[in-house]
Amino acid sequence: MSKEPFIGMDPEEFRKTGKEVVDWMADYLRDAEKYPVFSRVKPGDIKGQLPAAPPSEPEDMESILSDFHRIILPGITHWNHPGFLAYFANSASAPGILAEMLATTLNVNGMLWRTSPSATELEEVVVDWFRQMLGLPAEFHGIIIDTASVSTLVALTAAREAAHQQVRERGLSGRADLPKLCLYCSEHTHSSIEKAAIVLGIGQDGVHKISSDAEFRMNTGALATAIEKDRRDGWLPFAAVATVGTTSSTSIDPVPAIADICQREKIWLHVDGAYGGAAAILPEMRYVLDGCDRADSFVTNPHKWLMTPMDCSVLFTRHVGTLKQAFSLVPEYLKTTDGSVNNYMDWGVQLGRRFRSLKLWFIIRSYGVHGLASMIREHCRLARHFAARVQADKDFELMAPVPFSVVCFRYHPAGISDESSLEHMNAQIMDRVNAGGEIFFSHTRLNGHFTLRIAIGNIATSENHVNRVWELVKAEGDKLKQR
Ligand SMILES: Cc1ncc(COP(=O)(O)O)c(C=O)c1O
Q: For 90-146, how does the pLDDT look when each residue is reduced to its tens digit (9 = 90+)? A: 999 999 999 999 999 999 999 999 999 999 999 999 999 999 999 999 999 999 999
Helix (H, G, I), strand (E, B) or coil at 465: helix
For residue 119, the model assigns a pLDDT of: 97
Question: What confidence tier does 6 reach under pLDDT thresholds 50, 70, 90?
Answer: low
d(CA 476, CA 470) in angstroms, rounded, equals 10
- CA distances 306 to 346, 359, 469, Å, are 27, 11, 23
φ/ψ of residue 438, rounded to 5: -85, -35
Contact criterion met (CB below 8 Å) for 145 and 313: yes
d(CA 204, CA 283) in angstroms, rounded, equals 38
Question: What confidence tier does 338 reach under pLDDT thresholds 50, 70, 90?
Answer: confident
Sign of CA dihedral 372, 373, 376, 379: negative
Contact criterion met (CB below 8 Å) for 453 and 439: no
- Give the residue, out of 145, 190, 444, with the most ligand 1 atoms within 8 A of its beta carbon, to mutate for a pocket test: 190
- Give the residue, out of 246, 255, 272, 349, with the most ligand 1 atoms within 8 A of its beta carbon, to mutate for a pocket test: 272
For residue 9, the model assigns a pLDDT of: 87
With a pLDDT cut of 90, the percent of the chain lying above it is 96
pLDDT in tens, 368-397: 999 999 999 999 999 999 999 999 999 999
For residue 356, the model assigns a pLDDT of: 98
Closest CA to 122 of 93, 139, 102: 102
Helix (H, G, I), strand (E, B) or coil at 396: strand
Helix (H, G, I), strand (E, B) or coil at 418: coil
- Assess whether the C-beta atom of 192 lies below 6 angstroms from ligand 1: yes
Asked if pLDDT for residue 1 goes beyond 70, the answer is: no
Ligand 1 atom closest to residue 189's alpha carbon, by position in its atom list: 1
Contact criterion met (CB below 8 Å) for 241 and 272: yes
Edge to edge, the sheet with strand 141-145 lists: 141-145, 313-317, 297-300, 268-272, 235-243, 180-186, 207-210
- Assess whether the C-beta atom of 32 lies below 6 angstroms from ligand 1: no
For residue 221, the model assigns a pLDDT of: 98
Ligand 1 atom closest to residue 87's alpha carbon, by position in its atom list: 14
Contact criterion met (CB below 8 Å) for 403 and 288: yes
Helix (H, G, I), strand (E, B) or coil at 236: strand
Instruction: Judge residue 28's burial from the number of C-beta atoms within 10 Å of its C-beta, 0-12 exposed, 13-18 middle, 19 or more buried.
Output: middle
Nearest CA to ligand 1 atom 16: 247
Helix (H, G, I), strand (E, B) or coil at 52: coil
pLDDT in tens, 418-430: 999 999 999 999 9
Nearest CA to ligand 1 atom 7: 148
With a pLDDT cut of 70, the percent of the chain lying above it is 99
Average pLDDT over every residue of 471-483: 92
Contact criterion met (CB below 8 Å) for 178 and 165: yes
- Assess whether the C-beta atom of 149 lies below 6 angstroms from ligand 1: yes
Average pLDDT over every residue of 202-211: 97
Q: How far apart are the first and last CA of the chain?
A: 63
d(CA 468, CA 454) in angstroms, rounded, equals 12
- Assess whether the C-beta atom of 275 lies below 6 angstroms from ligand 1: yes
- Assess whether the C-beta atom of 301 lies below 6 angstroms from ligand 1: yes
- Assess whether the C-beta atom of 247 lies below 6 angstroms from ligand 1: yes
Is the peptide bond between 338 and the residue preceding it cis, with omega within 30 degrees of 0? no
- Assess whether the C-beta atom of 272 lies below 6 angstroms from ligand 1: yes
Could you please report the per-residue DSSP string of 331-352? -GGG--S-TTS--GGGGSS-SS
* Distance of CA 134 from the midpoint of ligand 1 (Å): 18
Contact criterion met (CB below 8 Å) for 151 and 192: no
Question: What confidence tier does 152 reach under pLDDT thresholds 50, 70, 90?
Answer: very high
pLDDT in tens, 273-297: 999 999 999 999 999 999 999 999 9
d(CA 432, CA 371) in angstroms, rounded, equals 36
pLDDT in tens, 36-52: 999 999 999 999 999 99
- Assess whether the C-beta atom of 313 lies below 6 angstroms from ligand 1: yes
Domain 109-354, what architecture? 3-Layer(aba) Sandwich (3.40)
Ligand 1 atom closest to residue 243's alpha carbon, by position in its atom list: 1
